[in-house]
Chains A and B, each alone.
Chain A
Amino acid sequence: MTQRVPVTVLTGFLGSGKTTLLNRILTENHGQRIAVIENEFGEIGVDQELVINADEEIFEMNNGCICCTVRGDLIRILGNLIKRRDKFDRILVETTGLADPGPVAQTFFVDDETRESFDLDGVVTLVDAKHAELHLDTSEEAASQIAFADVIIINKIDLVDTDALDALKRRLRSMNLMARIEQVEMADAPMEQVLNVGGFDLDRALELKPSFLEPEYAFEWGGVLRLDGKAKFRLQNGPDPVMSAVLEPIRAATTEALMETAERVYTRFSAPGEVLQPGATMSPGETLWTLTLTDADQYEYTLEADQPGLYALFTEHTPEEFDAGFYGDSGADIDVATEHFFNPEHTHDDTVGSIALELEGDIDGTALNAWMGQLLQTRGPDIFRMKGILAIAGEERRFVFQGVHMLFDGQPGNAWGDQPRASRLVFIGRNLDEAELAQGLRNCRAR
């Protein structure tokens, strides 16, 4: 088969700097012949060999699935481009700020001729650091652009402070565990960050990043405090009338120790907590404390340790959200020696999120097929993207697959060899139920 031409989809909210980025890519001296398929509102002003205007014409397939929408105009334009003797090295597809990338991605799954000649390399989503939170709060399309991304480029980071940037990154990460997140100032992303993403390449489908299997913690913040007797934890009103917290001894004031301790305590957050009223005392140990934060302007709780030393406090929300601080008996501030922000599940009530599942051992191929079939029939519209590596009983090689809504594609990959056999799946979608998905996967365990 002849070499397929890679296609990069560039998407992003209005004002995120897409056009600037596109211009940078096109004017960089890369020696590639690039054709740009631009949306009807695009304003490319560069001397480009071929800029094609597309009307983003979407149609629904007749297969009864409401999520099965396809860009017919893209099929036509790509079909005409491939007729040329002098092929292009790459195609860039720019979508409007309001576009859902689903139909573009699905086009490459649905049309045989398109996928024969073209290779969907990846979806790159540009967000504007200053306005992204607002866009995500108000626009479903913005959420779906994040969900579909293989690379998220946060632009204009010079316009926000570090805290706001960290909060945005945490939010983006919680919505999409798979994407690589890059930060730039003037849309000055290097070309290699935007091109050759390999997001839809099955061979590279699951080059898992460390963050990939980081569990979803029920707490957003952990901090290390040196306690010697009593300390005050003073809070103002925040986004929640109650907040869960755990206090636990810790071996050192390092991020590494904090992560270790987090692993140890995170199951405690699923047990019922002991409700405390303002003025009460939290002590280290097994108890999950539920702090009451209602009917007053300010609340004070006491942290008390029998042994002086380092303690980690894990809280459901970040102290900043409650304008909280720590004070000694004398009233002096107690500094937080080390802190870490954990991926928040619930800060913004985003209905779009991602779920990573892992199952050790083998799974039964037939059971998996039945489960996937049923899942995609019923939840197809809510599942934006999925990727997985599966250990199928009786199969020496890894099975690698990925999908967009109801459509998916898979093939055998490398052999397991001496590696422990385990299946890993990631779902990105809307209103996903982790318990239900995890149970569905467990039901496929080979007997």
Chain B
Amino acid sequence: MSDYGLDSWTVNAPLTGVCVERGGQFAAFAGGDGCVRTVSLVEPESSLSVWPLTEGAVLALTPDCQEGGFLCGADDSTLYQVHPNDGPRELALLTRSWPDQLVSHPCGLRAVSDGPEVRLLDAEGRLVTVLAEHPSTVAGLAFDDGGRRLAVSHYNGVSLWTLDRRSREPQRLCHRGSHLDLTWSRNGRFLVTATQEKTLHVWDLAAGQDATLGPCINKVKALSWSADGSWLLASGADTVSGWSFSNGRLPAAAPHMLGRYSEHLIGNVSANPSLALAAAGYNDGGLELVSLAVQPQRRRLVSAPGSPIAGLAWSPNGDHLLGGDKDGRLFAYRFDTDSLARLACTD
């Protein structure tokens, strides 16, 4: 597959986050030098715009609730909004901890962690409410698809807040251990956390059941749902680990190993949002595309070895793949949709 375009940049800072805003026009890279760098995905040969936020590091980056913007949390305890044309604006200064967990929903909500609390902000940046007090520092945040429920992970489980009810008490989903990153299934039925103990934990909210998945070789740092919602993909092993949710029940604990085994572990995985394939980033800097739909699964090496891939993100329509590594090599692939589709569906 040679029919793709590649832009790449080298910056003197490890990548700490990457994403594409909801409109699909701009991508942003967060850096360990306290800067956010934005680039247009639609204008040809566009260059990086550099937006310095802090002296330390940008810890978290996510698309903002409205098209065209990004949310960033930095280790100066400040939550920023960054617009590719206008630059950064301070949204909130936290008092208890670093804003290292951020999430937004297109209905106009933003959630940011502040130690054991979660602050909810509206689209104008006004504080809607503070969700307190979780059993430990918040380690993961996720809105369900409708934006009605916010799941918050922490020690010994997840707190599930139903936002429109203005309920003061969340539903508690309990399981011992430290729960970190978390994600909802597309239909809002399953909630999955990555744990400190190299496993995943899944709750079936409709059936009132839960189960532990894994273990993986490494702690899972990236969770991603396939385009049709039938696979949950995870990093942490020497192939892409996948659990099938296609029959609507809790999956078996042992993952399917998708793609070929490698000498190196996968640190990042991101499913394409429209096709049955995923991008996998290895700890040796290798990058490949893995088909999820055909047997045997295909893979293509897209990148030569270097330092560990630190982040991967697809544009909403699935034709751009953005990422970077711990040495500050940033890349933006622009794929031809037809050849991507051929990789996903044919031998």
Q: Which residues of A contact B (CB under 8 A)?
A: 50, 53, 55, 57, 59-63, 70, 72-73, 75-76, 80, 83-86, 110-113
Q: A53-B97, A76-B100 are in contact. List 13 more A-B contacts (CB 8 A).
A: A60-B176, A61-B196, A62-B176, A72-B136, A73-B136, A80-B57, A80-B59, A80-B75, A80-B98, A83-B14, A85-B13, A111-B219, A112-B218
Whether B12 and A85, one on each chain, are in contact in the complex, defined by CB atoms closer than 8 angstroms, is yes
Within the complex, the shortest CB–CB distance from B74 to chain A, in Å, comes to 10
Pairs A–B under 8 Å by Cβ, sample size 29: A50-B56, A55-B137, A59-B136, A59-B178, A59-B196, A61-B197, A62-B176, A62-B197, A63-B197, A70-B178, A72-B136, A72-B137, A72-B139, A72-B155, A72-B196, A73-B136, A80-B57, A80-B59, A83-B16, A83-B57, A83-B59, A84-B32, A85-B14, A85-B31, A85-B32, A85-B33, A85-B57, A110-B196, A112-B219
Tell me the complex Cα distance, A48–B198, Å: 36
Tell me the complex Cα distance, A84–B218, Å: 23
Whether A62 and B177, one on each chain, are in contact in the complex, defined by CB atoms closer than 8 angstroms, is yes
Contact with A along B91-116 (1 / 0, CB 8 A): 00000011010000000000000011
- Chain A residues lying within 8 Å of B57, measured Cβ to Cβ, are 80, 83-85
Residue of A nearest to B138 (CB): A76
- Chain B residues lying within 8 Å of A60, measured Cβ to Cβ, are 176-177
Most buried by B among A50, A57, A83, A84: A83
Whether B139 and A76, one on each chain, are in contact in the complex, defined by CB atoms closer than 8 angstroms, is yes
Tell me the complex Cα distance, A389–B332, Å: 51
Whether A57 and B137, one on each chain, are in contact in the complex, defined by CB atoms closer than 8 angstroms, is yes
List residues of B (114-144) whose CB comes within 8 Å of A's CBs.
Answer: 115-116, 136-137, 139
Q: Which residues of B contact A (CB under 8 A)?
A: 12-14, 16, 31-33, 56-57, 59, 75, 97-98, 100, 115-116, 136-137, 139, 155-156, 176-178, 195-197, 218-219
Whether B56 and A75, one on each chain, are in contact in the complex, defined by CB atoms closer than 8 angstroms, is no
Most buried by A among B33, B177, B219: B177
Whether A76 and B59, one on each chain, are in contact in the complex, defined by CB atoms closer than 8 angstroms, is no
- Chain B residues lying within 8 Å of A85, measured Cβ to Cβ, are 12-14, 31-33, 57
Tell me the complex Cα distance, A61–B59, Å: 26
- Chain B residues lying within 8 Å of A113, measured Cβ to Cβ, are 219
- Chain B residues lying within 8 Å of A72, measured Cβ to Cβ, are 136-137, 139, 155, 178, 196
Within the complex, the shortest CB–CB distance from A230 to chain B, in Å, comes to 71
- Chain A residues lying within 8 Å of B59, measured Cβ to Cβ, are 80, 83
Within the complex, the shortest CB–CB distance from A390 to chain B, in Å, comes to 28
Tell me the complex Cα distance, A83–B13, Å: 9
Whether A59 and B177, one on each chain, are in contact in the complex, defined by CB atoms closer than 8 angstroms, is yes
Within the complex, the shortest CB–CB distance from A65 to chain B, in Å, comes to 12
Tell me the complex Cα distance, A428–B336, Å: 64
Whether A80 and B100, one on each chain, are in contact in the complex, defined by CB atoms closer than 8 angstroms, is yes
Residue of A nearest to B176 (CB): A62
- Chain B residues lying within 8 Å of A55, measured Cβ to Cβ, are 115-116, 136-137
Whether A111 and B196, one on each chain, are in contact in the complex, defined by CB atoms closer than 8 angstroms, is yes
Tell me the complex Cα distance, A53–B56, Å: 16
Tell me the complex Cα distance, A84–B177, Å: 28
- Chain A residues lying within 8 Å of B218, measured Cβ to Cβ, are 112
Tell me the complex Cα distance, A173–B83, Å: 62
Within the complex, the shortest CB–CB distance from A38 to chain B, in Å, comes to 13
Within the complex, the shortest CB–CB distance from B228 to chain A, in Å, comes to 32
Tell me the complex Cα distance, A70–B13, Å: 30
Tell me the complex Cα distance, A80–B76, Å: 12
- Chain B residues lying within 8 Å of A61, measured Cβ to Cβ, are 177, 196-197
Tell me the complex Cα distance, A81–B60, Å: 13
Tell me the complex Cα distance, A62–B56, Å: 34
Tell me the complex Cα distance, A113–B236, Å: 12
Tell me the complex Cα distance, A407–B156, Å: 22
Tell me the complex Cα distance, A83–B31, Å: 8
In the A-B complex, the 9 residue pairs with the closest CB atoms:
A85-B32, A62-B177, A83-B57, A84-B57, A85-B33, A85-B13, A72-B178, A59-B155, A57-B136
Whether B196 and A83, one on each chain, are in contact in the complex, defined by CB atoms closer than 8 angstroms, is no
Residue of A nearest to B218 (CB): A112
- Chain A residues lying within 8 Å of B156, measured Cβ to Cβ, are 59
Within the complex, the shortest CB–CB distance from B186 to chain A, in Å, comes to 28
Within the complex, the shortest CB–CB distance from A79 to chain B, in Å, comes to 9
Whether A83 and B177, one on each chain, are in contact in the complex, defined by CB atoms closer than 8 angstroms, is no
- Chain B residues lying within 8 Å of A83, measured Cβ to Cβ, are 14, 16, 32, 57, 59
Tell me the complex Cα distance, A86–B197, Å: 30
Within the complex, the shortest CB–CB distance from B19 to chain A, in Å, comes to 16
Residue of B nearest to A75 (CB): B196
- Chain A residues lying within 8 Å of B56, measured Cβ to Cβ, are 50, 84
A84 and B137 contact, Cβ closer than 8 Å, known pairs A59-B156, A59-B178, A60-B177: no
Tell me the complex Cα distance, A86–B12, Å: 10
Tell me the complex Cα distance, A84–B57, Å: 5
Tell me the complex Cα distance, A115–B32, Å: 20
Within the complex, the shortest CB–CB distance from B204 to chain A, in Å, comes to 20
- Chain B residues lying within 8 Å of A59, measured Cβ to Cβ, are 136, 155-156, 177-178, 196
Within the complex, the shortest CB–CB distance from A109 to chain B, in Å, comes to 13
Residue of B nearest to A84 (CB): B57
Tell me the complex Cα distance, A53–B116, Å: 13
Within the complex, the shortest CB–CB distance from B76 to chain A, in Å, comes to 11
Within the complex, the shortest CB–CB distance from B141 to chain A, in Å, comes to 14
Within the complex, the shortest CB–CB distance from A62 to chain B, in Å, comes to 4
Whether A84 and B12, one on each chain, are in contact in the complex, defined by CB atoms closer than 8 angstroms, is no
Tell me the complex Cα distance, A131–B176, Å: 38
Tell me the complex Cα distance, A73–B139, Å: 10
Residue of B nearest to A80 (CB): B59
A84 and B178 contact, Cβ closer than 8 Å, known pairs A62-B197, A70-B196, A72-B136: no
Most buried by B among A62, A112, A113: A62
Whether A76 and B137, one on each chain, are in contact in the complex, defined by CB atoms closer than 8 angstroms, is yes
- Chain B residues lying within 8 Å of A73, measured Cβ to Cβ, are 136-137
- Chain A residues lying within 8 Å of B32, measured Cβ to Cβ, are 83-85
